[in-house]
Every structure is written in structure tokens, then in C-alpha cells.
Amino acid sequence: MPYTAPIDDIRFALEGCADFWSLRQRFPELDEDTLAAILEGAGALASETLAPLNRSGDQAGVTLKDGVVTAAPGFQEAYNAFKDGGWQGLAADPAYGGQGLPRSLALAVMETFHSANMSFALLPMLTLGAIEAIEQHGAPDQKTLYLEKLISGEWSGTMNLTEPQAGSDLGVLTTKAVPQADGSYAISGQKIFITWGEHDLVPNIVHLVLARIEGAPAGSKGISLFIVPKFRDADGSRNAVRCIGVEEKMGIHASPTCTLAYEGATGWLIGAENRGLAAMFTMMNAARINVGMEGVGVAEAAYQKALTYAKDRKQGGALIIEHPDVRRMLMTMKAKIQAGRAICYATAVAADAGDKAREDLLTPIAKAWGTDLGVECSSLGVQVHGGMGFVEEGGAAQFYRDARIAPIYEGTNGIQALDLYGRKLLGDRGDAMQALIAEGRVIAGASHPKLNAALDALADATDYMLSASREDAQAGAYAYLQLAGDVVGGMLLVKGGVRDANAEQAALLRFYARAILARAPSGLSEVKLGAAVLNSSDF
């Protein structure tokens, strides 16, 4: 399916909305020419190499035989091009072969890969998380053993959390780790839903596995994190981990989602005993921002497909792009995509700047709002196509099928809403959110009444969430997150418009203000719904 990286839109969101150049002092070697070259190079790889494999990969899927997963045709060549281009290590530590560039720039690059081929992009996305976890929590010898090969793309990485009985509640996982005389551990148990957990694109896969050491406390306090390579480091022999199944999924057919059996596999503790969740959350938070970007990326691909179809398809004697309802759908897609893009980039810029409070606040918003956006826009893409959107031949259905997993990934969006309320709002009694609202008021000034009204609604909702009972606040948490995403997205679009009086972006902002921000005050009713209303039905 044809895809062209929207470089101008990416740069507007990155530079104008997300304040990318505030990072100049931290990254003095980075300039406009380097930024342009990196984005153009990523866009070329995405459009010329990855996008042509999106449809064929969906149709071919992957195969599992004798514990070996074979990737879809063409994926090996595409991965080689990705690896040889040095794309895996853009933001990684230069001491281990990385380029040391901002995470926000690496995120913008990943957006183009997600748009072009979500199944493919999941592979480097999980490796990014493994790199960050080992960089932050690994011992020196572990960094020496693994980082260079992961950063170069020679090896890939995975995140092993879920078990048949342990989904979001990781405290009940049963995978066990038995200490060995040489300081290693024998890891035994089963992990499910492991993205790219087995494949033939690289010679070794580095699994990061949550398990419980014998005698450890019950619940989440007794969980540790282990590095378990597919092939052992010392002698290169095959480790006792094997793929015993690949899920048949609604979408992302070219991404193997594996069930892995650990049968006394040799693993090494990363970080401290019983502190595995803290280390794993390094991967989790990196993945949450990337999954939010994934939603935006698939939304962009769906938008481009729908726009092309609308400009070509005639109905009633006119191209359907001339129909007001089709234009409404396309404008909704494009405006919300730009807002979602800006939210994700702003989250990553905060991480680059070391603004932990802002990063923590925006992460659940970026993940949930961005992935809901992917589903909404891919659904609108099907609608623009009409009947042709509902059949596979039209090509629009794949985006919807692929996008639908993202609101479930890395903690469902309901969990993101509870995180925004329970950890972020209650954690600092609303200080970070109030600071964000205050910044929004400065951006809005007197020229943007709809943004000011939306900020008033968010401030009111924030006061309610802080003062309500836990049950009532949790009942309104998802609506609160959605309201926050709508308002923050609008705030960032206004910020970008102030810096760059671009006619096209100004048109998107006008639409966003009237169609999205204008709804913010009415969103208060759902935020304040209350637990009693939800509990009033016996179903």
C-alpha cells in the first residue's frame, strides 16, 4: 500500500508543538540539516522498503515448524536494510555503538515505520525497551555482553511478562527461578503473547523475563527480572527456551505472537532480587510511549489510504472528497493525528529534557489517547471507503485490524486511566497537571477562547478527581484521560501555530477547536458520572 512519510507534519509537531529545539544544549551536535536528513532517510526506508511488505506480510503471515518461526517473505531483506542503516541505535548510548540522539527524534523515526508496516516495527520497538532496561539496570558485564549487539540490530530483544493466569496482575505469575552454583538461575515456566518471541531474522534473541526466585515474597514484591538469551553466551549452545505456539490474531499477522516454554533455561538476574517490576517498568514506560506513537502511525497510514480513495472514487457524479461528510471524516482524522503526534513527541521531549514530572504525566495520555486515535481513524478510513472498506480487497480493513491491539498493549487504556489518576494525580496532588494547565493558559492568551474554555473544564475535572472518593474518581478516570488528551492536543496545536503561521496547520487548528475542543466542557458530565451510576445495573 503506498505510503509517504509526512515529513512536514512531523517537523511541525516536533519542532513547533513539542519544542524539540529546547534540547539544543543537551544535544549541541544536532542541527536542522541533520534532523532533515534523518527524517528523510527514515521516510525513504518506510515508504520504499517496509510499506510494500505490509499487505503481503498480512496475507502470508508467519509459520511455526519444529519450534522455529519463519518470518513473512521479504522481511529478512527489510530487516537487513533497517539494521545496516543503523536505525536501531539512534538514541542509544554511544559507548556501546549508539548514536546518542534524542529519544524524541528516534520516536519520530519509529512513527514512519509504524505507519508503513506495524507488524515489522514491533520488532525494533521491543528491542528498544530491552536496550533501555539493560542500560539503566544491567551490570557492567551484562552491558558489555548485550548492548552492542542489541543496539546494532544484530540481536533483538523481547519483554516476557504475561502468563496464562497472569495478565495485568503480574503479582500472580508463577514462572520460577532456581539459583545455580555459577551465579545463574534456572528459569522454568510459560509466557504467552510474546511479540517477536521467536523468529529467524537475527541469530539470537535476548528475552527479559519476569520470574520469582525460590523463597521470594508473594505478590509483586517477590518478582525479579532475568536476561535469558535464546543462545547461551558462554558456549553459544541453544538455551532451554522454545516456542510452542504462535497466536492466530485479528491483525498484525506478520508479527509472531509467541507462547514460550522455559524449561530450566539459563538466565541471569538483572538488577536487584525482588525488584524486577521496577526494572521492567523501564521497558514498559518506553513501550507505552512507542505504542501511543504506533496508534498515531497506523492512523496516518489509514488517513493517506482514505484520502487517496476519496480523490479517486466518484459517486453521484462527483468525487466523494467533495461530499461534506467525507470531508468531515478526513478533517477529523488529519487534525486528531496531528494532535496525537504532538502529544507523543512532547512526552519524549520531556524525557529527553529530564522533566520527569511532565514525562510521567503525559505517558498514559500519549499511550491511551494515541492508540484510541489509531482505532478511530482506521475505522473512519473504512467508512470513507464505504463497502469497499469492509472487504479485504480494498486494503482499508487491515489498518483497523492492526490498530485494534494497541489499546490493549502495555496495560489496557483503562489501566492507563487508573495510572493517570492513582499514580500521577494523587502522587503529586495535581501539581504536574496544574503546571500543564497554567502553561496552556499562557499559550491560549486572549486569542483562543475555545482552548481557554477547554482548560477551564480540565481544571474543574482535575479538582473533582482530587476531591472525589476513590470509587467515584475511578469511575470517571477514563473520561478524564480522554478530556486531558483532547485539551493537551489542542494546546500543543495552538503552540505550534504561534511559532509557525502555516496555512494548512491553521486550518486543522480551526477544525480541532470547533469540533474537538468545543466538546470539552460537556465532557465534565462523564468525568463526574460517579460509581453509583455504574453500579446501578445488575447486567
Residue whose cell numbers read 521516510 = 43
Query: What are the residues whose beta carbons fall under 8 Å from the beta carbon of 22, sequence distance 6 or more?
Result: 349, 353
The closest alpha carbon to 216, from 145, 272, 264, belongs to 272
Q: How many CB atoms lie within 10 A of CB 444?
A: 21
Active site residue 410: yes
Q: How many CB atoms lie within 10 A of CB 366?
A: 31
H/E element holding 128?
A: helix 118-137
Give φ, ψ of 251 to 5 degrees: -145, -160
Given a contact cutoff of 8 angstroms between Cβ atoms, the answer to whether 129 and 207 are in contact is no
Q: How many CB atoms lie within 10 A of CB 384?
A: 26
Give φ, ψ of 177 to 5 degrees: -125, 120
> Three cell numbers at 460?
474543574
Residue whose cell numbers read 495510572 = 419
3-state secondary structure of 214: coil
Burial (0-12, 13-18, 19+ Cβ within 10 Å), 240: middle
CA distance 455 to 495: 14
CA distance 158 to 126: 5
3-state secondary structure of 513: helix
Given a contact cutoff of 8 angstroms between Cβ atoms, the answer to whether 433 and 361 are in contact is yes
Catalytic residue among 111, 135, 359, 410: 410
> Three cell numbers at 325?
461528510
Active site residues: 410
